[in-house]
């Protein structure tokens, strides 16, 4: 008998009763997992709200820094030109080379270092820092920048820049000055007119790709506004001539230093202002303070006999003497209290005109002692002595004239022949403008157009009447005899032109006393005497050769500068028979 199997059970709950399929975990665990997932989504939502809504600006800014950058567009520094528009200082186009270190590949180090003329080790050091944008080199010329572009190196950026260039080199260095690596003026007109020369920088906002290359601009370019052009009264040709003559004289006489100032006698404009030693503003390696000194403007000294025409003019204006008045200078020495002053020889009785011609200390001392001390002091102030020239230029010296109440008789006497006061060469040149015309002293100026009406440069300003027209003519006649036969300035003559001037030989004061064999040789004069056009003042400091007098050392420099300048300006000769 065959047993039949029972059909399988169809109990719907059979599976649930299977121990393998029955749940072992409590129900609260699944609820906990659901809660965690919900909390995670909530946190993400809060974070998204924080990033997208609350702190959006910060994160947008951080993101933009990865690909967007604002580049400053440098303004081109303004030019400095002479009175005819010739360049004295100009900015040449150069480039700054920057790098994004993490984008620069190792294989680029060698060619980059060679092109930028940098040691490879130094280049690696600069690229190894934490900064995201690093300056590699400034003032790279256009040819080098073009070669760099052709290399197509990743992470390298070029930014337009400029480099200052001075075409006149050392001849005009003290006038023009120079700038630093940041293009800020440091000396001369570069410093005095720095604000006007700088201009206003612009901006360029760009987007870079992952290799650091500029791919587009995000907003309109804000162009840079270039600096203004500054025009000086300087004549480049006369400046070169003055410097060359000065340099040759200092070498010939083995002098320590020297200066030359050339003025337009009609309005006081400075046509040349030269100093030696000088420097090349295009290459300032090894530059010293001695080379930097603008001696014609900032150095003061006792002017010696170049001041004598001033006291003679004052005595004539006060009615004390006339050109033909006689002064007894015998026996060649003159005692004032315990002090004794001397002439180079016994000139005996001489006229006032002869006193200027032969440069008599005794005659001038007697003239000074015949005037009230206050009158002399007041006139010196009127001539601008002891006061800074009204000039837009750094370091202009005022010189010194002590208060008249403190003058002893010997000091009042020495004031008349240039001891006991201090002046700059520029101040002495300015004084002589009064005698070149009708007695009106023209204030010196260096700018063709003032930077500011109240800034101090006196271009276009009226001069001041310091002596009468008749006295000015008489002084001119005396100065002309000083360069003729029997005068102390015979070496200052100029072929074809009538010239006039005054020599000066002043002992150098070292400490509290005067050195025995150290001098400053000076000459100040004008030409042509029929209608003076130029004034030239020369100072040679401490000539070490046999010659040291102003007439023999400074006179020939005056002659060379004056003669060449008159020809450059096309001034017709006025000497008899020419």
Please give the positions annotated as active site. 305
Residue for token pair 């070029």 = 158
Report how far Cα 209 is from the mean position of its chain's Cα atoms: 44
Separation between Cα atoms, residue 331 and residue 344, nearest integer Å = 11
**H or E element that contains 119:** none
- Specify the 3-state DSSP secondary structure of 541: strand
- Residue 42 buriedness (CB in 10 A; 0-12 / 13-18 / 19+): exposed
The gap from C-alpha 456 to its chain's centroid, in whole angstroms, comes to 16
Torsion of CA 29, 34, 36, 38, to 10 degrees: -160
* Burial group, residue 465, by CB count within 10 angstroms (0-12, 13-18, 19+): middle
DSSP designation for 25: S
Closest by CA position to 541, among listed 566, 518, 573:
518
- Contact assessment for residue 429 and residue 253, using Cβ atoms and an 8 Å cutoff: no
Check if the beta carbon of residue 224 is closer than 8 Å to that of residue 75.
yes
CA distance 414 to 102: 76
Degrees (nearest 5) of the Cα angle 549, 346, 350?
Answer: 100
Q: How far apart are CA 109 and CA 493, in angstroms?
A: 66
Are 238 and 232 in contact, with CB atoms under 8 Å apart? no
At residue 34, what are phi and psi to the nearest 5 degrees?
Answer: -60, -40
Where b means 16+ CB within 10 Å and e means fewer, 489-512 reads bebbbbebbbbbbbbbbbbbeeee
What 3-state DSSP class applies to 245?
A: helix
């Amino acid at each position: 008998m065959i047993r039949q199997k029972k059909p399988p059970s169809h109990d719907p709950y059979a599976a649930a009763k299977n121990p393998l399929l029955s749940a072992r975990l409590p129900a609260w665990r699944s609820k906990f997992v659901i809660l965690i997932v919900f909390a995670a989504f909530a946190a993400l939502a809060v974070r998204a709200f924080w990033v997208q809504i609350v702190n959006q600006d910060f994160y947008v800014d951080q993101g933009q820094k990865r690909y967007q950058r604002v580049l400053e567009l440098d303004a081109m520094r303004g030019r400095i030109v002479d009175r005819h528009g010739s360049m004295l200082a100009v900015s040449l186009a150069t480039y700054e080379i920057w790098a994004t270190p993490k984008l620069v590949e190792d294989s680029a180090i060698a060619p980059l270092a060679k092109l930028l003329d940098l040691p490879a080790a130094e280049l690696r050091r600069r690229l190894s820092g934490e900064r995201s944008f690093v300056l590699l080199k400034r003032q790279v010329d256009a040819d080098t920048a073009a070669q760099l572009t052709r290399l197509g190196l990743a992470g390298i950026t070029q930014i337009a820049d400029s480099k200052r260039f001075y075409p006149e080199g050392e001849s005009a260095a003290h006038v023009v000055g120079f700038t630093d690596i940041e293009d800020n003026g440091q000396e001369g007109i570069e410093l005095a007119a720095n604000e006007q020369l700088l201009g206003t920088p612009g901006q360029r906002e760009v987007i870079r790709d992952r290799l650091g290359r500029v791919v587009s601009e995000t907003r309109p370019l804000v162009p840079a506004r270039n600096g203004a052009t500054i025009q000086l009264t300087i004549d480049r040709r006369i400046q070169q001539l003055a410097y060359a003559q000065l340099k040759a004289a200092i070498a010939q006489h083995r002098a320590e230093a020297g200066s030359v100032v050339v003025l337009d006698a009609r309005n006081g404009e400075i046509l040349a202002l030269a100093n030696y030693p000088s420097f090349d503003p295009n290459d300032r390696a090894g530059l010293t303070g001695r080379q930097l000194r603008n001696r014609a403007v900032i150095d003061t000294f006792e002017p010696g006999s170049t001041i004598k025409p001033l006291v003679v003019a004052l005595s004539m204006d006060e009615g004390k003497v006339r050109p033909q008045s006689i002064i007894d200078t015998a026996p060649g020495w003159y005692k004032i209290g315990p002090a004794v002053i001397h002439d180079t020889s016994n000139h005996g009785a001489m006229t006032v005109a002869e006193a200027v011609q032969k440069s008599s200390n005794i005659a001038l001392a007697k003239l000074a002692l015949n005037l009230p001390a206050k009158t002399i002091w007041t006139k010196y102030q009127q001539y601008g002595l002891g006061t800074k020239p009204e000039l837009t230029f750094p370091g202009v010296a005022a010189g010194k004239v002590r208060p008249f109440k403190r003058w002893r008789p010997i000091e009042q006497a020495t004031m008349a022949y240039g001891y006991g006061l201090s002046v700059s060469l520029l101040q002495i040149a300015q004084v002589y403008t009064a005698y070149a015309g009708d007695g009106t002293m023209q204030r010196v100026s260096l700018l063709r157009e003032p930077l500011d009406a109240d800034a101090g440069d006196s271009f276009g300003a009226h001069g001041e009447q310091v002596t009468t027209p008749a006295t000015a003519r008489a002084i001119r006649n005396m100065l002309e005899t000083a360069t003729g036969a029997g005068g102390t300035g015979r070496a200052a003559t100029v072929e074809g032109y009538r010239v006039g001037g005054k020599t000066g030989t002043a002992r150098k004061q070292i400490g509290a006393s005067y050195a025995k064999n150290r001098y400053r040789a000076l000459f100040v004069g004008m030409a042509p005497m029929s209608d003076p056009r130029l004034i030239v003042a020369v100072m040679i400091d401490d000539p070490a050769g046999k010659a040291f007098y102003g007439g023999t050392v400074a006179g020939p420099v005056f002659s060379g500068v004056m003669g060449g300048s008159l020809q450059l300006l096309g001034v017709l000769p006025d000497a008899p028979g020419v």
